[in-house]
A and B are shown apart, each in its own frame.
Chain A
């Protein structure tokens, strides 16, 4: 008998994920609202490396006891396909989205020998009035701004990570799959070391590599579009009326596997077999990414 969760069949397949470069940032502010605003701006337009260049989202909210300056904060995880892209994206977003947001400060959320510049670049905004402070071997930059000082750590660590862990929810109706999807995203949200960068944690535009149009390196995956049933061959039966995909980026293989298990379980238990026809995962035959998350193993 095939694997089932709450009666929902789990297909014997695997999610294919890729090596990425990642960092963690901590934004603090006078109130959690300002921190959320800065985080929302910084993580905007960061759903997919395909066109955004970065996959970036809130990892979790931090209590004042968890932050370097004792104020409420938010941890952000960012993933790119290359360190060069991370070095381009992070200072740019920090400068336009955190430096600009009232009362905020920006800190490194991970330590590593490999570094991504933060205050090292942003300090020049201080036009000579910036102050450097070396505390406990970590350098901070204090940049005078209109509400006081913007405090920014010199740089943050960069580590190797994994992007593209995923599972697909095959729904009997759009409403059912939407409910299941929300349940999965909510279950994954509190987990450390992972993010679901798409809106609400899910995407409806699962893509394949390439296109009939030159210049496009990704396009809709017609095999997973229920409205094209009968036009193109599809790997599921006509009970499936809508599909949503949860995409997970994580710092480690284990953290993504845990997020997949928690998400799949929550999705299946939320609507059961009456709402979901099954759970599957996206892969490219194992040829593109070296990290394979076999659903049967993940759900053990």
Chain B
């Protein structure tokens, strides 16, 4: 894959479906990338990449997209290999269906970031909107692999129907974090709004002490030392050293959601 930098030259006043700036688009020649047509959402026409971006080759293999991209949605769609760096705010569906490689965002993202993610690494320095890692419309499972690390806040329903993988949110979370989670691990460091892990089937949600959750849905927290906590601590050590240290000592654990026969767990550190 050839590295390149796409710098937004003109801010489109319409919302564009930028799914084509994903997958393995960077393996195409720059001349072909310039001819890509980004459809206007709910419109009848499209805009050419060459009308929006300056495209420059790079000496390394990174793909960098710069600018205020809030009107461009689904950037990084189906990304599967290599490294994508995005500098600036992006629209909805950022890194949706991510399955491999690395995607880094320095800016805020809209709703449905990492929708139906299956693998790879997503690292966001900034806030994300609602439905982080959610299922595609009509699908049963949400995030099913890979690692998400958000250094910022997340909106409501982060980790909805999550099935596998690790989601780290180094900031505050909106309501219904980990709602209907089936498996996987969610780790947070900030405040969490109401409805934590409602409908949880299995999986692990790790939250700081002082986080409230329904005593009707979850068993009373009990202090426990678990070997698996050390394994998870090793895994998150580089990104969340304070959480890793806390996990290596004793944690409190609640099981639930009892109202739906769930066997998931909330760890309080």
Contacts and interface: CB of A to CB of B under 8 A. Distances in A.
Interface in A120-137: 129, 131-136
B234 A148 contact: no
Given A68-B234, A131-B263, A133-B185, A28 B227 contact: yes
A133 B225 CA distance: 16
B224 A148 contact: yes
Contact of B227 (A132, A136, A151): A151
Nearest to B236: A135
A142 B235 contact: no
Interface string A151-165: 100000000000000
Contacts of B231: 68-69, 133, 135, 140, 151
Interface string B194-229: 000000001010000000000000000000111110
Q: Interface residue tally of chain A, by bracket? A: 10 to 19
Contacts of A28: 227
B232 interface: yes
A71 interface: yes
A148 B251 CA distance: 13
Contacts of B78: none
A133 B228 contact: yes
A165 B202 CA distance: 49
A70 B248 contact: yes
A11 interface: no
A151 B232 contact: no
Interface in B86-127: none
Interface string B252-269: 000000000001010000
A105 interface: yes
Nearest to B145: A134
Interface string B175-192: 000000001010000000
A129 B230 CA distance: 21
Given A70-B248, A131-B202, A131-B263, A142 B228 contact: yes
Interface in A99-125: 105
B235 A149 contact: no
Contacts of A105: 227
A236 B185 CA distance: 67
Given A68-B234, A70-B248, A132 B228 contact: no
Nearest to B202: A131
A71 B232 contact: no
A279 to B, nearest CB: 45
B164 interface: yes
Given A68-B234, A70-B248, A129-B263, A134 B164 contact: yes
Contacts of A151: 226-228, 231
Contact of B183 (A129, A132, A140, A148): A132
B230 A149 contact: no
Of B202, B226, B228, B232, chain A has the most CB atoms within 10 Å of the CB of B228
Contacts of A70: 230, 248
Interface of A: 28, 68-71, 105, 129, 131-136, 140, 142, 148-149, 151
Given A133-B204, A133-B228, 10 more contacts: A28-B227, A68-B231, A68-B234, A69-B228, A69-B231, A131-B202, A135-B231, A148-B224, A149-B228, A151-B228
Interface of B: 164, 166, 183, 185, 202, 204, 224-228, 230-232, 234-235, 248, 263, 265
